[in-house]
Amino acid sequence: MTAERFLTLTDVAEILNISASQTYALVRSGDLQGIQIGGRNQWRVERSKLEEYIETAYKRTAANLSELPTSMPSET
């Protein structure tokens, strides 16, 4: 894979190790910013937008983890 500015959804799926349909769902929901070009289902994600998405995911995960208890509740 080259260091192109724009990535296909297949490229993004490979980078994130998810399916192409999961990548499409991220773009369609607006969670991952992408652009539609040309004909049907021709989507591209700018590399910088993918990096922003990953950074946001790390922050969201850290926030979620901070809300979890630090130990498992004891079974009685």
Question: Domain residues for 47?
Answer: 6-56
pLDDT digits (tens, 9 = 90+) for 33-50: 999 998 787 999 999 999
Distance CA 73, CA 70 (A): 9
The token duo for 44 is: 């591209």
In a domain, 73, yes or no: no
Count structural domains, the chain.
1
Digitized pLDDT (tens) for each residue of the chain, 76 residues in all? 557 899 999 999 999 999 999 999 999 999 999 999 987 879 999 999 999 999 999 999 998 888 877 776 666 5
Helix (H), strand (E), coil (C) string for 19-72? CHHHHHHHHHHCCCCCEECCCCCCEEEEHHHHHHHHHHHHHHHHHHHHCCCCCC
Do β-strands 35-36 and 6-8 pair in parallel, antiparallel, or remain unpaired?
unpaired
pTM here? 0.79
